[in-house]
């Protein structure tokens, strides 16, 4: 590592810790703290462009665990419908970080290479699964707030405006299911962090389903049905919960907002 790289790493660490401890000392500003963690994540990536932050590294672990700290940042009583934009920023931050892991080095000749993305999903499964858990919980908070806005605005107007944060979250949910379902070894679920993500998704599925168009729900069912046939015990119950939620015929509000 060059002297300049070492210096940059030290700067990143000092700025990150200062940004983290100041809001903690004040006992407030959780949204600013999460934003600072996002900037620290970007700085870590810039200081090591040949790899991605790892939980095994103390500095990176502090940043990642702060980004994914749902109890700290996702208190339901903190957000009202008017705060949907701020909440969407939180969801987008971990969604973007997840995408950065999956797409790392995968853009070749202007196209994403699926094989590289698949290898990335396995190589950084602990980091990705940690971030996915936060994103899933964050989206579950978005849904009732967005539903309230849709009721206030009317479905037609909301559809025209498209509620950009919800559109991104619809895509993020599908991404979570594709990655987790594709990499959960259902016969040995304890061996993969992605099976734990599916457990988290099971508890949130009734809320998530309200935000997904019928076609997206069908996609989720198609991903999980083959796993259900091989699953047992608690993992089978989790998958069945998701399939039941995604099989609901009810489609109102956010379900009617088709992704563009």
Sign of CA dihedral 80, 83, 84, 86: negative
For residue 165, pLDDT over 90 is answered with: no
Helix (H) or strand (E) holding 172: helix 164-183
CB crowding 176-214: b at 16 or more within 10 Å, else e: bbebbbebbebeebeebbbbbbbbbbbebbbbbbbbbbb
How confident is residue 25, by pLDDT bands cut at 50, 70 and 90? very low
The residue ranking higher by pLDDT, 85 or 53, is: 53
Query: ∠ at Cα 166 (163, 167), nearest 5°?
Result: 85
Beta bridge partners of 108: 111
Domain coordinates of the chain in residue numbers?
1-67, 80-256
Beta bridge partners of 111: 108
How confident is residue 121, by pLDDT bands cut at 50, 70 and 90? very high
pTM of the model: 0.85
For residue 190, pLDDT over 50 is answered with: yes
Q: Mean of the pLDDT values across residues 213-228?
A: 95
Q: Which two three-digit tokens encode residue 30?
A: 């959780």
Q: What percent of the chain has pLDDT over 70?
A: 84
């Amino acid at each position: 590592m060059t002297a300049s790289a070492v210096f940059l790493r030290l700067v990143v660490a000092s700025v990150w810790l200062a940004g983290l401890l100041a809001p903690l000392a004040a006992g407030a500003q959780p949204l600013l703290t999460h934003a600072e963690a996002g900037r620290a994540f970007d700085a870590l990536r810039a200081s090591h462009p040949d790899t991605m932050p790892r939980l095994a590294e103390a500095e990176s672990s502090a940043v990642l665990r702060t980004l994914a700290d749902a109890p700290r940042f996702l208190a339901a009583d903190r957000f009202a419908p008017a705060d949907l934009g701020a909440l969407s920023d939180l969801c987008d931050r971990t969604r973007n970080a997840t995408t950065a892991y999956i797409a790392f080095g995968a853009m070749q000749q202007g196209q994403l290479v699926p094989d590289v993305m698949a290898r990335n999903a396995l190589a950084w499964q602990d980091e990705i699964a940690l971030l996915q858990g936060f994103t899933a919980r964050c989206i579950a908070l978005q849904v009732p707030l967005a539903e309230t806005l849709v009721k206030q605005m009317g479905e037609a107007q909301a559809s025209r405006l498209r509620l950009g944060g919800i559109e991104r979250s619809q895509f993020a949910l599908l991404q979570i299911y594709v990655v987790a379902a594709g990499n959960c070894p259902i016969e040995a679920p304890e061996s993969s962090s992605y099976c734990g993500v599916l457990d988290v998704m099971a508890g949130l599925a009734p809320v998530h389903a309200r935000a997904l168009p019928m076609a997206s729900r069908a996609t989720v069912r198609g991903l999980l049905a083959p796993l259900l046939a091989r699953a047992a015990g608690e993992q089978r119950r989790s998958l069945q919960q998701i399939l039941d939620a995604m099989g609901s015929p009810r489609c109102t509000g956010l379900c009617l907002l088709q992704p563009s």
